[in-house]
Amino acid sequence: MSAMGRARAMKIVITDFESEYSAEMKDGCTLDEVVTELKGLLVCCGYNPKIVDQYLNEGEWGLTDDE
C-alpha cells in the first residue's frame, strides 16, 4: 500500500489529438501483462493487430541471446 493507503498500480496512457486511451494494471503485474495491455491500446488507436504483434515481437533491440 502507498502512503495514501491505496494499492499501487501502473498506468499506460496514449493520447492523440482527439482521444485518450489508458490501461491500468495492478502492482506486481508481469511484463507479459504490460505488453498485452500496450498491444490492446495500440489496437484501440487504430493499428492493425497483426502489425502490432509483428513490430512488438520482432526483436528490434538488436540484443544477442547472451544479453
- Model confidence over 6-64: pLDDT tens digits? 667 899 999 988 999 999 998 889 988 999 999 999 999 999 999 998 888 766 666 66
The x, y and z cell numbers of residue 31, run together, are 511484463
Q: Is 5 left (phi over 0), alpha (psi -120 to 50) or beta?
A: left
pTM as predicted: 0.71
Reference 24, options 40, 2, 46; nearest CA is 40
